[in-house]
C-alpha cells in the first residue's frame, strides 16, 4: 500500500505536487489562519480528498491537525507548509521542539546564526534607528514585511491589515541593500545537498515582495560558496539530519547576509528546479523523506519566472500568438489591480527557459510584448 501523504498548500504549485506524487496516496489540507492568507489558497481538484481546518484559535490548531492525521492514517506531511504551523506540527515532520523553537521565529534563528559566525542583519525587537525592515517574527513567504523610514510610517503600519491580521509580534532589522539569492536543498541522513542557488527579484520599497526568480544566479562563485557553506553550518549545528530546507540571503559588498531559513520546500525553488532540471522535484524530496533517497539533480536550462508589472487600470487582457513560454497566467479579472505587495501573484506571470539566461530573458520580454491590453471605460 502506498504511503499516505497530506499536502498543506498556500500556492498554485499544488498542481505540480499532486501530479508528481502519483506514487503516493495524496490528500490535502487547507488551514484558514487569517482572511489575508486565505486569498492565497489554491483550488483543490474534486478527486482529491481535502480537509478544511477553519479555526483561527492557535490553542486548538495542533489538536485539530493531529486528529485529522490519526483518523485518516496519514503517514507523512509534505514539507511545503506555512512556517507559522511549524510549532504545532514539528514532531510530525521530524523536527525537534528545540529546532522548532529556533526555526519558527526570525529573531531566534537570526541570533542563532550570528553566534555561528554567519552574517545577519542587525535585529531588534524595537526601533532604534530608521530606516528598518519590519518583519513578523513568525511570518512566512514575505507576508507583512515592509520598510519603514520614520515614526509616521510606523504609526500607519501598525494599523495596516498585515500587522493586525497576523498572529505575530514584529522584529526590526537594518536595511541591507543588494541582490537576493535563494537556496533550495535537502538533508539526507546528515548529508546536506544543495539542489539550487538562484536569484530573487523584489519589488521597490516600501514592500519587499518577490516579483521574479532566475537561474543561474548572477552572484559570483565565491559568494555562492559562502552561501552553501552557511547552509551546511546551519543544518549541522541544528542537528537537522533529514528533510528539505530553504534559505534566503541578501548580498552586499560581496558579503551574503542570511535573512531567512526554514526546514521546508520553497515554492519558487520548486518551479525553477522543475523546469531547469526537467525532473519531478516534489517526488525527489518526498522520496528523500520516506526512503532516504539522496538522488542528485542536474540543473541544465536557464529559467526566468517573473510576475507581470503592468500599469494599474481596467483592461481587457489577451495574448497574441507567437510568444514562446513554458507557463503563462494572465490576470484573471478585467480590473487589473497591479499588486506589488505580497499578493503580487494576482498580476499573472510567465515562465521561460533556454540554454542561456540571456535567451530565456529575451523570451520573457517577448511574452510581455505579445500581451494585448485594451483599456475599458
pLDDT digits (tens, 9 = 90+) for 274-331: 999 999 999 999 999 999 999 999 999 999 999 998 777 777 888 999 999 999 988 7
Half-sphere exposure of 45 (CA within 13 A, CB side): 12
Residues 6+ apart with CB under 8 A from 164: none
Cα–Cα distance for residue pair 129/102, rounded to 1 Å:
26
Q: How far is CA 39 from CA 18, 249, 343, 344, in A?
A: 21, 27, 8, 11
**What values do phi and psi take at 216, rounded to 5?**
-80, 160
Residues 6+ apart with CB under 8 A from 86: 93, 95, 100, 103, 104, 262, 263
- Asked whether the beta carbons of 51 and 28 are under 8 A apart, the reply is yes
Report pLDDT for 165.
47
Cα–Cα distance for residue pair 231/265, rounded to 1 Å:
14
Q: Which three cell numbers stand for residue 89?
A: 506540527
Report pLDDT for 166.
45
Q: Which residue has the cell 540543473?
A: 299
Quick one: 123-174 is in which CATH superfamily?
ATP-grasp fold, A domain (3.30.1490.20)
Cα–Cα distance for residue pair 105/376, rounded to 1 Å:
46
Options 3.40.50.1260, 3.40.50.300, 3.40.1480.10, 3.30.470.20; CATH for 99-116+177-302 is 3.30.470.20
* Residue in 13, 6, 40, 80 with CA at minimum distance from that of residue 245: 80
**What values do phi and psi take at 313, rounded to 5?**
170, 180
Report pLDDT for 357.
98
Tell me the β-bridge partners of 372: 318
Residue ranges covered by each domain of the chain: 4-96, 99-116+177-302, 123-174, 304-375
- Asked whether the beta carbons of 134 and 170 are under 8 A apart, the reply is yes
pLDDT < 70: residue spans in the chain: 9-11, 33-41, 54-58, 82, 139-143, 160-168, 205-207, 332-345
Report pLDDT for 146.
81
- Asked whether the beta carbons of 276 and 303 are under 8 A apart, the reply is yes
* Backbone φ/ψ region at 188: left (φ over 0), alpha (ψ -120 to 50), beta: beta
Q: What is the pTM of this model?
A: 0.90
- Asked whether the beta carbons of 361 and 304 are under 8 A apart, the reply is yes
Quick one: 4-96 is in which CATH superfamily?
Glycogen Phosphorylase B; (3.40.50.2000)
Give the 3-state DSSP-derived string for the chain, with helices as H, strands as E and coil as C: CCCEEEEECCCCCHHHHHHHCCCCEEEEEEECCCHHHHCCCCCCCCCCCEEEECCCCHHHHHHHHHHHHHHCCCCEEECCCCHHHHHHHHHHHCCCHHHHHHHCCHHHHHHHHHHCCCCCCCEECCCCCCCEEEEECCCCCCCCCEEECCHHHHHHHHCCHHHHHCCCCEEEEECCCCCEEEEEEEEECCEEEEEEEEEEEECCCCECCEEEEEECCCCCHHHHHHHHHHHHHHHHHHCCCCEEEEEEEEEECCEEEEEEEECCCCHHHHHHHHHHHCCCHHHHHHHHHHHCCCCCCCCCCEEEEEECCCCCEEEEEEECCCCCCCEEECCCCCEECCCCCCCHHHHCEEEEEECCHHHHHHHHHHHHHCEEEEECC
Amino acid at each position: 500500500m502506498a504511503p499516505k501523504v497530506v499536502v498543506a498548500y498556500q500556492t498554485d504549485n499544488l498542481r505540480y505536487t499532486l501530479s508528481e506524487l502519483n506514487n503516493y496516496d495524496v490528500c490535502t489540507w487547507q488551514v484558514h489562519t487569517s482572511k489575508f492568507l486565505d486569498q492565497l489558497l489554491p483550488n483543490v481538484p474534486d478527486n482529491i480528498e481535502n480537509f478544511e481546518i477553519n479555526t483561527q484559535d492557535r490553542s486548538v490548531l495542533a489538536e485539530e491537525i493531529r486528529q485529522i492525521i490519526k483518523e485518516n492514517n496519514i503517514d507523512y506531511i509534505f514539507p511545503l507548509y506555512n512556517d507559522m504551523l511549524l510549532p504545532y506540527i514539528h514532531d510530525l515532520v521530524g523536527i525537534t521542539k528545540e529546532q522548532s523553537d529556533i526555526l519558527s521565529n526570525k529573531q531566534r534563528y537570526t541570533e542563532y546564526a550570528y553566534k555561528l559566525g554567519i552574517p545577519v542583519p542587525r535585529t531588534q525587537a524595537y526601533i532604534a534607528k530608521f530606516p528598518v525592515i519590519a518583519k513578523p517574527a513568525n511570518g512566512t513567504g514575505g507576508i507583512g514585511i515592509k520598510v519603514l523610514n520614520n515614526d509616521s510610517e510606523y504609526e500607519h503600519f501598525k494599523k495596516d491589515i498585515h500587522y493586525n491580521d497576523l498572529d505575530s509580534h514584529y522584529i526590526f532589522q537594518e536595511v541591507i541593500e543588494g541582490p537576493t539569492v535563494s537556496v533550495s536543498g535537502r538533508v539526507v541522513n546528515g548529508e546536506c545537498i544543495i539542489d539550487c542557488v538562484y536569484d530573487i527579484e523584489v519589488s521597490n520599497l516600501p514592500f519587499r515582495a518577490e516579483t521574479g526568480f532566475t537561474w543561474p544566479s548572477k552572484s559570483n562563485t565565491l559568494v555562492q560558496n559562502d552561501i552553501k557553506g552557511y547552509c551546511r553550518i546551519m543544518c549541522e549545528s541544528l542537528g537537522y539530519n533529514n528533510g528539505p530546507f530553504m534559505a534566503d540571503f541578501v548580498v552586499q559588498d560581496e558579503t551574503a547576509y542570511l535573512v531567512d531559513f526554514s526546514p521546508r520546500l520553497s515554492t519558487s525553488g520548486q518551479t525553477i528546479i522543475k523546469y531547469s532540471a526537467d525532473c519531478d522535484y516534489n517526488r525527489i524530496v518526498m522520496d528523500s523523506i520516506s526512503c532516504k533517497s539522496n538522488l542528485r539533480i542536474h540543473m541544465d536550462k536557464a529559467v526566468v519566472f517573473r510576475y507581470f508589472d503592468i500599469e494599474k487600470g481596467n483592461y481587457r487582457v489577451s495574448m497574441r500568438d507567437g510568444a514562446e513560454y513554458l507557463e503563462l497566467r494572465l490576470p484573471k479579472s478585467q480590473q487589473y489591480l497591479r499588486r506589488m505587495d505580497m499578493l503580487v501573484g494576482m498580476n499573472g506571470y510567465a515562465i521561460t527557459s533556454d540554454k542561456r539566461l540571456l535567451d530565456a530573458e529575451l523570451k520573457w520580454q517577448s511574452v510581455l510584448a505579445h500581451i494585448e491590453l485594451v483599456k475599458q471605460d
